[in-house]
Amino acid sequence: MIKVYTSSVIDAPADAVWARIRDFNGLPRWTPFVAESRIEGNLPADQIGCVRNFRLKDGGVIRERLLALSDFDFQCTYAILDSPMGVDNYVATLKLTPVTDGNRTFAEWWAEFDAAPEREGELAESIGQGVFQAAFHQLRQSFR
């Protein structure tokens, strides 16, 4: 099993950052790589079990199921159902923690998944830097 972890500090209060990222269907609004997204079956985007189906700007399509969502903990967990990346058993969590010194936010995003041994390093780098860190960078920029 591969584990990927990234973190960042965002110069905005945690409740403001959570308001931006809480919408499970909102990836196009705060990530640089998602072109469009929809929730299958017209379910609410905060309903545990709902599935988001989104298209990446490079044309790839990914389906993910919302496993947990906590407004109290500023945290969501989801699993990839279908993806062109070649990952299995993928579960990720995005969590925000208030930083009281400066009213900022500590953001963490981690995932665990299985992949072919020869692709582990490439996928860990691609997900950690190309997805998680790139999204944090875009999110930080949106609060400037």
Mind listing the pLDDT tens digit for each residue in 37-95?
999 999 999 999 999 999 999 999 999 999 999 999 999 999 999 999 999 999 999 99
Element (H, E) at 65: strand 61-70
Q: Give tens-digit pLDDT for 5-38.
A: 999 999 999 999 999 999 999 999 999 999 999 9
Class of domain 2-142: alpha beta
Q: Which amino acid type is present at position 102? A: G
| Band of pLDDT at residue 123, cut at 50, 70 and 90 | very high
**CB burial string 21-58: b at 16+ within 10 A, e below:** bbbbbebeebbebbeebebeeebebeeeebbbbbebee
Q: Which amino acid type is present at position 33? A: F
